[in-house]
Amino acid sequence: MSRPNRMERPYDIVLFGATGFVGALTAEYLAAHAPDGLRWALAGRSPERLESLRERLAGIGKAAEVGVLAADVSDPASLRELAGHTRVLATTVGPYLTYGEELVAACADAGTDYLDLSGEPEFVDLMYVRHDARARETGARLVHAAGFDSVPHDLGAYFTVAQLPEGVPLTVDGFVHADAMFSGGTFASALNQFSRGPRMLAAARDRRRHEPRLLGRRATAPSGAPRYAKEVDAWALPLPTIDPQVVVRSARALERYGPDFRYRHYAAVRRLPFAVGGVAAVGAVFAAAQVPPARRWLSGRLRPGDGPSAERRAKSSFSVRFVGEGGGQRVFTEVAGGDPGYDETAKMFAESALSLAFDDLPATAGQVTTAVAMGDALIDRLRKAGITFRVAATR
């Protein structure tokens, strides 16, 4: 790997999509928490909107020192220029399947660390097949899903494994509970995903063909079945998000997960009628997403840039409880925080960017998960920023 000398670049962190819903929250977080000497810039397609964001940030911390860069995903040269100007490029410009690839390619070529909020498995698999090898050559770390998808689940499983004995088969079950609303951007990404089932499966197959085989170890994420989980006193519904895939990728990369690791991912619902209602609602949106006119109607319900108000977000929260077992031990752990989709996502995303830029991390390159790229350093940062990682009990 030949890592270009990135210290000579003008910026440590560039935030692309800064004028969007999560982008602006991330900019506010960075403005309030920027370490002394952070060289950072807001990037987006509208210089006017970027300037007015910079003015809005002016009262917060050291925001006056933030730069402004114009770039548009329809202009690949502008993306290459962005990638060449910074050590870490954090992008909230989604849906990533629609807008994301050129920037991943630019970062892989320039040896620039790349961070996104993609919960889109097809996009992540395509980027692995097309850009992982080049990123390994240049030393770029390509980190997807650095928000609520999938940081609490990936780092929570990593934290749970660390409480269990080494060198033995381990199982971890994650139970997610979230009370929150979503934004226009997230809704658009979810609808896009729901309409692409066969292409998503094809991308996953292609990835498996390219991935090196795991020798002498196993890491799997079977989907499990709906059940009453007495260990967490809730109904557990299998949750087919990108999270279990990310957890398994961390388990494949890190020996600490043991010779035979299994992860199952569930939504935890206290009352059965809510469980049935939730499955029905997701099923209805999934069915509608298959029919173009219905999909268009749905996507008009929540516009890009819209999202829950500060008051609504202040009432939102999440917890992910984990039950880990192995070597005769059982451990209960929890990762918890406030509004998962936006306030805490902005925090996780900004802290990941700061971690890639400044922490003393293991040497990695190519497509890597948050646990593999940042692991303990990111847990440490998130704890200091108010997200709980705790061991609830060991038996």
Ligand X SMILES: NC(=O)c1ccc[n+]([C@@H]2O[C@H](COP(=O)([O-])OP(=O)(O)OC[C@H]3O[C@@H](n4cnc5c(N)ncnc54)[C@H](OP(=O)(O)O)[C@@H]3O)[C@@H](O)[C@H]2O)c1
Q: Given the rule CB under 6 A, which residues bind ligand X?
A: 17, 19-23, 44-46, 49, 72-74, 92-96, 99, 117, 119, 145, 147-149, 183-186, 189, 304-305, 307, 341, 345
Of 90 and 164, which CB lies nearer to ligand X in the complex structure? 90
Give which of 244, 266, 252 is closest to 150, Cα–Cα.
244
Structure tokens of 342?
């936006």
Query: Minimum distance between the CB of residue 324 and ligand X, rounded to whole angstroms?
Result: 23
The three-class DSSP label of residue 1 is coil
Of 102 and 206, which CB lies nearer to ligand X in the complex structure? 102
> Can you tell me the distance from the alpha carbon of 98 to that of 192, in angstroms, rounded to the nearest whole number?
9
Residue with tokens 């999560």, as numbered in its chain: 22
- Other beta carbons less than 10 A from residue 143's beta carbon: 25
Q: What angle do CA 160, 163, 164 make, to 5 degrees?
A: 95
Amino acid in position 96: Y
Element (H, E) at 389: strand 388-394
Query: Minimum distance between the CB of residue 211 and ligand X, rounded to whole angstroms?
Result: 23
The contacts of residue 222 (CB under 8 Å, 6+ apart) are 262, 264
Query: Minimum distance between the CB of residue 260 and ligand X, rounded to whole angstroms?
Result: 29
Query: Minimum distance between the CB of residue 301 and ligand X, rounded to whole angstroms?
Result: 14
SS3 content of the chain, % helix, strand, coil (to 5): 45, 25, 30
Query: Minimum distance between the CB of residue 196 and ligand X, rounded to whole angstroms?
Result: 14
Of 186 and 352, which CB lies nearer to ligand X in the complex structure? 186
Query: Minimum distance between the CB of residue 182 and ligand X, rounded to whole angstroms?
Result: 7
Of 258 and 307, which CB lies nearer to ligand X in the complex structure? 307
Phi-psi category of residue 54: left, alpha or beta, with phi > 0 → left and psi -120 to 50 → alpha: alpha
Total length of the chain? 395
Of 70 and 162, which CB lies nearer to ligand X in the complex structure? 70
Query: Minimum distance between the CB of residue 15 and ligand X, rounded to whole angstroms?
Result: 10
Our CA dihedral for 153, 156, 160, 163, rounded to 10 degrees, sits at: 160
The answer to whether 1 and 324 are in contact (CB under 8 A) is: no
Of 23 and 84, which CB lies nearer to ligand X in the complex structure? 23
Query: Minimum distance between the CB of residue 175 and ligand X, rounded to whole angstroms?
Result: 18
Cis peptide before 292 (omega within 30 of 0): no
Of 216 and 300, which CB lies nearer to ligand X in the complex structure? 300
> Can you tell me the distance from the alpha carbon of 319 to that of 30, in angstroms, rounded to the nearest whole number?
24
Query: Minimum distance between the CB of residue 117 and ligand X, rounded to whole angstroms?
Result: 4
Give the pairing of strands 329-337 and 317-326: antiparallel
Query: Minimum distance between the CB of residue 51 and ligand X, rounded to whole angstroms?
Result: 12
Of 117 and 254, which CB lies nearer to ligand X in the complex structure? 117
The answer to whether 97 and 122 are in contact (CB under 8 A) is: yes
Give the pairing of strands 317-326 and 388-394: unpaired
Of 46 and 223, which CB lies nearer to ligand X in the complex structure? 46
Of 119 and 224, which CB lies nearer to ligand X in the complex structure? 119
Cis peptide before 250 (omega within 30 of 0): no
The answer to whether 106 and 78 are in contact (CB under 8 A) is: no
Structure tokens of 393?
């009990």
